[in-house]
Amino acid sequence: MSNIILTGYMGCGKTTVGTCIADLADGYTFADTDALIVAQQGRSINDIFEAEGEPAFRAMETALLEKLLTENTDRLVLATGGGMPVREENRRLLKALGTVIYIRVTPETVYGRIQHDTTRPLLQCENPMERIREMLGERAAAYETAADVILDADRLTPRGAAEEILKLAGKG
């Protein structure tokens, strides 16, 4: 499969960079797993977390990946939810779906990008910066294990990151 799968912590730029990749790469389309789940469920991620909890949302992510695999999806740039690679099953499904790129950024970069975003249920807490550091530490091994390629993107523009990913994935 020639799909490009973008993973990384929330705010690392998966959606923005993924859109750029689809614009730059001939014949590629872009999709975001969070947006697909919201459309499928007819409610926000915050509402899903509130009503059913994080485990139910993670199960929805797994079901979506399985569906994409059975549809033989090709030439797709897929931005994943920040917690998707935490599940071992999801890491296997992501690798089966395409080339997995981990967009790695520092906690400071994440905080600078999302400090005013109230749509991030896991960061609605007293000290979001501390929570970002903690979660990045907990998830780093899962991101790295899932990845075929790791891109350090703190100093890259979205277009620069997109161009670099296309090169790294052998598409540019």
- Delineate the domains of the chain, giving CATH numbers in brackets: 4-168 (3.40.50.300)
Taking all residues of the chain, what is their mean pLDDT, rounded to a whole number?
Answer: 90
Q: Answer for the pair 21, 29: CB distance below 8 angstroms, yes or no.
A: no
**Which of these ranges, 17-31, 57-71, 77-91, 104-118, has the smallest mean pLDDT?**
104-118
Give me the helix-helix angle, 54-70 and 88-97, nearest 10°. Answer: 30
Tokens of 171: 């598409």
| Res 118: pLDDT | 63
Lowest mean pLDDT among 64-73, 114-123, 125-134: 114-123
Mean pLDDT to the nearest integer, 104-123? 76
SS3 content of the chain, % helix, strand, coil (to 5): 60, 15, 30
pLDDT in tens, 71-87: 878 899 999 998 999 99
pTM of the model as a whole: 0.90
